[in-house]
Amino acid sequence: MRILTWNLDHGRHDPAVIEKQQRLLASHPNDACVLTEVPMSMSNEDAGRVLSPVERPGKLGPEAWVRIDADGVEPCAIELPLKRMAAAARATVGGEPFLVYGSVLPWRSANTQADYLEGVGMSPDDLFARVLGEQIRDIRALRAEHPADTFIWAGDFNQPLSGTNAGFSNPQRQILQSALDDLGLIAWNEHLDHANGESHAIDLICGPKDRAAHAERIDPVVDGFALSDHAGYLVQI
């Protein structure tokens, strides 16, 4: 199975950039794709697509935080409100059932920039911990309901797990790593570079520790133009 994740925020309001992003995505075939900060033009319901609530305020209208694409993908029967910044879906690849949870975790200024996260008065670390805890509860419930499915967690975690932590948070790194350990997961691409070329990836693709995987970075700069301030990542398991 080939899983791709990418944050599209940089081009959300520019049709020319969105078109180039779509061409770059098409040049990297995959079985499941978890896109985050999805522009309004890509936040529409369609076959082979599961979206988080299309309620994120955008300059051009409501958008989705997360979009999961896969052949034959089906949404999971779980309520995921806007403040969860997540979507959950099931798909079958090569006869193997997969459970995919796509999400975004709070960035450092989310407590003041996103009032729908209800983080006013909370520190960035406390808000991160709260949303992470809510997402973990979702994940545990989903895995209990579908115990035979191979579980994948991917998206924009807004926190590297290795390398320099400058500009990020040590407490957030610790609780995120502890959460993955408790779930029996590993971030297959954690050692690849972030778009800034300084820190390691903050957009992660996580799955079972006992599955061999090959991870590669997708450069967001095409013809000298940055299509996103996040790199994309592709993992083959």
Model confidence pLDDT, tens digit, residues 114-159 = 999 999 899 999 999 999 999 999 999 999 999 999 999 999 999 9
List the one residue out of 42, 33, 109, 40 whose CA is nearest residue 70. Answer: 33
Task: Tell me what pLDDT residue 12 has.
Answer: 66
Task: Tell me what pLDDT residue 117 has.
Answer: 95
| Strands of 86-149, DSSP E | 86-93, 96-104
Provide the number of structural domains found in the chain. 1
Phi-psi region of 157 (alpha: psi -120 to 50; beta: other; left: phi over 0): alpha
Task: Tell me what pLDDT residue 59 has.
Answer: 81
| Cα dihedral value 18, 23, 27, 30, nearest 10 | 50
CA distance 117 to 110: 8
For residue 215, what is the domain's CATH number? 3.60.10.10
For the chain, the residue count is 237
Task: Tell me what pLDDT residue 149 has.
Answer: 97
102 near 9, Cβ under 8 Å?
Answer: no
CA distance 124 to 170: 12
Bridge-based pairing of strands 32-38 and 2-7 is parallel
Provide the sign of the torsion angle of the four alpha carbons 45, 31, 89, 162, taken in this order. negative
Chain-centroid distance of CA 63 in Å reads: 15
CA distance 15 to 8: 12
Task: Tell me what pLDDT residue 128 has.
Answer: 98
Domain that holds residue 38: 2-236
Task: Tell me what pLDDT residue 210 has.
Answer: 95
Ranges under pLDDT 70 in the chain? 11-12
